[in-house]
């Protein structure tokens, strides 16, 4: 029987202990989410979207999960469906293929596609917790990192770990990419980026992160030596991310024979809220949404540009000067900035905004930094309350226009 060396006996507990503690936190959080789903099912009215007492499998396969399942079973349409008005209707081209295909593979072993999808989400969620702890612990310490993991595992959007969505898988790839930047292991990016690009839209935000990080490394070259190879690796990975981020549009165009197949498909969701607003214009979605929501809330719609500018300025100030956020490190702050700029360019803010902010998970580290136990327990309780609110509205009810996750 092989015996461990003294070094191995010293290192092993250090590696195993956090993984075990995180596993305990993650399992407890998943039990809480399961309880929320069951209560939502029991309390849901007859006219709710999924009916009274829907089972967990109904929730697991609901909303966008239905599109992923359709992709696994039917593939992508060669002829785009049209609405009665002649516009391109919602269709599978809005979703990337790797998650539904992987779910089909795992589901073939487990007996159903939904089982495959939720197992992948559950495993990806636990791995996210492990990687999140690793990217935070060197910046904020072990105790704060574990609290951040607890906030993340019980976050308002933690249901994403228990439904057949690609969110957890995509976030895992992002967190691994951030860890590669922290450790200056850029070669691994060439394996992560292609998988990321076809898991969920967002790899263009990661491309921006790589470009900004390369610029930051250049500016810091006197304090941290910068080899030419590093710039080449970062530049190559960023170029690859851009190319693959645009590749899906090309693939959709080639299969359907319509050059604007992907963008028009994405705009089909926007038409539900705004009607026909014409061709896609980067950044226009936020102005349209600000005008829409200000009108809904009884505020002068003419304030929309000022509202968007104010929001952008506030976020910029937080990322640059807020002390708890600054302690997270430049890699995390640049990712948050890159992803928010990406959303600013392509997204129309509506009820899905909560889910779209899921990749900002590393900011949980900033919430964990105040050492007050009362603060940390309060944040955890607020996270669980937010999670219940989200599950109840999106799954227990699902009847209003803003009940779409």
Instruction: For residue 235, tell me if it sits in a domain.
Output: yes
Dihedral, 120, 332, 357, 60 alpha carbons, nearest 10:
10
- The predicted model gives 308-334 an average pLDDT of 93
pLDDT digits (tens, 9 = 90+) for 182-192: 999 999 999 99
Report yes or no on 308 lying in a domain.
Answer: yes
Distance between CA atoms of residues 23 and 35, nearest Å: 18
In contact, 22 and 126? CB cutoff 8 Å: yes
CA distance 360 to 171: 9
How large is the angle between the packed helices 142-153 and 113-140, nearest 10 degrees?
Answer: 150
Which residue segment(s) compose the domain that 392 sits in?
14-397
Listed in sequence order, the residues at least 6 apart from 118 whose beta carbon sits closer than 8 Å to its beta carbon are: 60, 162, 163, 164
- How does pLDDT run across 278-303, given as a tens digit for each residue? 788 888 888 888 888 888 777 776 78
- Dump pLDDT digits (tens) for 173-182: 999 999 999 9
- Kindly compute the dihedral angle of the four CA atoms of residues 47, 49, 52, 54, in this order, to the nearest 10 degrees: 170
Token duo for residue 326: 């600054």
- Write the secondary structure of 100-142 as one string of H (helix), E (strand) and C (coil): HHHHHHHHHHHCCHHHHHHHHHHHHHHHHHHHHHHHHHHHHCH
How far CA 240 is from CA of 10, 217, 338, in Å, comes to 40, 19, 17
> Is 403 contained in some domain?
no
User: For the segment 65-89, what is each residue's pLDDT rounded down to a tens digit?
Assistant: 999 999 999 999 999 999 988 899 9
Number of independent structural domains in the chain: 1
Where would I find the H helices in 225-283? 228-256, 261-274
How do residues 343-383 score in pLDDT, each as one tens digit? 999 998 888 999 999 999 999 999 999 989 999 999 999 99
Residues shown for the chain: 405
Closest by alpha carbon to 174, among 127, 234, 220? 127
Mean pLDDT of 389-403: 93
| pLDDT score of 16 | 65
Q: Phi and psi for 83 in degrees, rounded to 5? A: -80, 175
pLDDT digits (tens, 9 = 90+) for 326-335: 999 999 999 9
CA–CA dist 95, 149 (Å, integer):
28
pTM across the whole model: 0.94
In a domain, 3, yes or no: no
Tens of pLDDT, residue by residue over 3-54, are 444 544 444 454 568 899 999 999 999 999 999 999 999 999 999 999 999 9
- Using CA atoms, how far apart are residues 236 and 242, in angstroms rounded to an integer? 10
In a domain, 404, yes or no: no
How much of the chain exceeds pLDDT 90, in percent? Answer: 80
| 251 pLDDT higher than 70 | yes
Q: Which residues pair with 88 in a beta bridge?
A: 82
User: What count of other Cβ atoms lies within 10 Å of the Cβ of residue 96?
Assistant: 21
* Within-domain flag for 67: yes
**Reduced to 3 states, what is the DSSP secondary structure of residue 88?**
strand
What is the pLDDT at residue 273?
81
What's the DSSP call for residue 82?
A: B
Residue 4 lies in a domain: no
Calculate the average pLDDT of the chain. Answer: 92
Residue 261 domain-assigned (yes or no)? yes
């Amino acid at each position: 029987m092989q015996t461990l060396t003294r070094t191995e006996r010293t290192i092993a507990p250090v590696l195993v202990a956090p993984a075990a503690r995180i596993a305990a936190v993650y399992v407890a959080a998943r039990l809480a989410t399961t309880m929320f789903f069951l209560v939502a099912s029991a309390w849901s009215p007859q006219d709710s979207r999924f009916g009274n007492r829907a089972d967990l499998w109904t929730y697991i396969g609901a909303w966008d999960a239905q599109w992923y399942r359709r992709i696994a079973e039917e593939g992508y349409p060669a002829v785009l469906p049209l609405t009665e008005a002649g516009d391109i209707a919602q269709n599978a081209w809005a979703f990337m293929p790797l998650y539904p295909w992987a779910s089909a593979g795992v589901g073939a072993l487990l007996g159903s596609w939904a089982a495959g999808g939720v197992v992948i989400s559950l495993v990806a969620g636990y791995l996210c917790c492990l990687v999140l702890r690793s990217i935070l612990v060197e910046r904020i310490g072990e105790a704060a990192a574990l609290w951040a993991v607890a906030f993340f595992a019980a976050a308002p959007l933690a249901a994403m770990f228990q439904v057949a969505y690609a969110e957890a898988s995509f976030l895992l790839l992002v967190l691994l990419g951030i860890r590669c930047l922290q450790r200056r292991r850029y070669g691994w990016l060439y394996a992560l980026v292609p998988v990321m690009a076809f898991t969920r839209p967002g790899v263009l935000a990661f491309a921006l992160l790589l470009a900004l990080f390369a610029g930051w490394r250049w500016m810091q070259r006197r304090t941290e030596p910068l080899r030419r190879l590093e710039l080449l690796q970062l530049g190559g990975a960023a170029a690859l991310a851009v190319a693959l981020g645009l590749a899906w549009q090309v693939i959709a165009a080639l299969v359907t024979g319509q050059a604007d197949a992907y963008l028009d498909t994405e705009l089909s969701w926007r038409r539900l809220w705004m009607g026909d607003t014409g061709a896609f214009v980067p950044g226009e979605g936020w102005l349209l949404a600000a005008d829409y929501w200000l009108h809904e809330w009884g505020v002068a719609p003419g304030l929309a540009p000022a509202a968007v500018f104010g929001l952008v300025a506030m976020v910029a100030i937080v990322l640059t000067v807020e002390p708890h956020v600054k302690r997270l490190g430049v890699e995390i702050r640049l990712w948050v900035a890159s992803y928010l700029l990406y959303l600013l360019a392509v997204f129309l803010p509506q009820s899905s905004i909560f889910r779209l902010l899921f990749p900002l998970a590393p900011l949980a580290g900033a919430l964990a930094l105040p050492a007050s136990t009362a603060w940390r327990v309060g944040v955890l309780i607020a996270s669980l309350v937010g999670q219940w609110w989200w599950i109840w509205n999106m799954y227990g009810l699902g009847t209003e226009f803003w009940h779409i996750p």
